Amino acid sequence: MSGNNESRLILALDVYERERALKIAEQTAEYLWAIKVNWPLIIGSGLGIVTELKDATGLPIIADLKLADIPNTNRLIASRVFEAGADYIIAHGFVGSDSVRAVMELGKTIIVVEMSHPGAKEFIQPATDKLVELANRLEPFGVIAPATRPERVAYIRSRLNSEVKILTPGVGAQGGKAGEVLKAGADYIIVGRSIYASENPRESARRLYEETMEV
Ligand code: O7M
């Protein structure tokens, strides 16, 4: 089953088990733009799951490692993950431009400029303006911003270069609403539990997809 280029829906596939991951990916692929793989799945199933998901769905794979290390270590990690077939890697910007550049030199990169949980207000939100400036200077594929705070997405959109995409986690389980955050300026929504932990992941993905198409 191949994916959907028009879709603005990214599945956060935060399960441990390889078989469950592959099954959910195949059931939902038709409605997705990409699949995001985070530490739970890599720890549970190994890095090879990246290639397996690509082969099974034909979708782009986003490796959400939230890299936050010195340039050399970021480079060591990112090179293996891109080699495994990841199309995008997510990196933290707060460690500085040299660390982010080390990832960008190897492949398409997404920078975290604000997060969706309540604790994001403590340290990350006060640094958002600077992180957006960093993104404007480096021009990565995209940035991560919180679907739980559509007004912040609108603010970030107003300051960010128009070619840089905004990807927003926090729809569903964390309280964000797809329609609101897309209207605020998000290009993509990232959804995990509302799809993979639902009784019928395919139907949940279809409903979210329809919602994004209405905006
Ligand atoms: O829909 P959920 O809440 O089950 O999952 C959301 C996913 O997005 C999950 O993989 C989180 O790790 C991720 N995420 C956030 O929830 N908030 C953030 O601020 C950032 C991310 C993320 O994807 O960062 C790149």
Task: Indicate the number of domains in the chain.
Answer: 1
Q: Please indicate whether residue 64 is annotated as part of the active site.
A: yes
- Flag whether 200 is in a domain: yes
Q: Please indicate whether residue 187 is annotated as part of the active site.
A: no
pLDDT value, residue 4: 81
* Percent of the chain residues past pLDDT 90, beyond the cut: 97
- Flag whether 52 is in a domain: yes
CA 174 to ligand 1: nearest atom: 3
85-to-6, 49, 59, 115, 166 alpha-carbon distances in Å: 22, 10, 11, 26, 22
* Percent of the chain residues past pLDDT 70, beyond the cut: 99
pLDDT digit string (tens) for 18-47?
Answer: 999 999 999 999 999 999 999 999 999 999
* ipTM of the shown complex: 0.99
- Flag whether 80 is in a domain: yes
Cβ atoms of 122 and 130 closer than 8 Å: no
Pocket around ligand 1 at a 6 A CB cut-off: 12, 14, 38, 64, 66, 90, 112, 115-116, 144, 146, 169-170, 172-174, 190-194
Q: pTM above the 0.95 mark?
A: yes
Query: How far apart (Å, rounded) are the C-alpha atoms in residues 160 and 27?
Result: 35
Query: How far apart (Å, rounded) are the C-alpha atoms in residues 208 and 89?
Result: 24
- Flag whether 4 is in a domain: no
pLDDT of 177 strictly over 70: yes
73-to-62, 96, 97, 179 alpha-carbon distances in Å: 19, 14, 14, 38
Query: How far apart (Å, rounded) are the C-alpha atoms in residues 184 and 160?
Result: 13
Nearest protein Cα to ligand 1, atom 14: 169
- Flag whether 1 is in a domain: no
Domain coverage including residue 106: 9-214
- Flag whether 90 is in a domain: yes
Q: Which two tokens stand for residue 113?
A: 């400029």
Question: Which CATH number do you get for residue 24?
Answer: 3.20.20.70
Q: Check 66, 87, 108, 165 and give the catalytic one.
A: 66
- Flag whether 84 is in a domain: yes
Ligand 1 pocket mutation pick from 149, 166, 190 by most atoms within 8 angstroms of CB: 190
Q: Please indicate whether residue 54 is annotated as part of the active site.
A: no
Nearest protein Cα to ligand 1, atom 10: 12
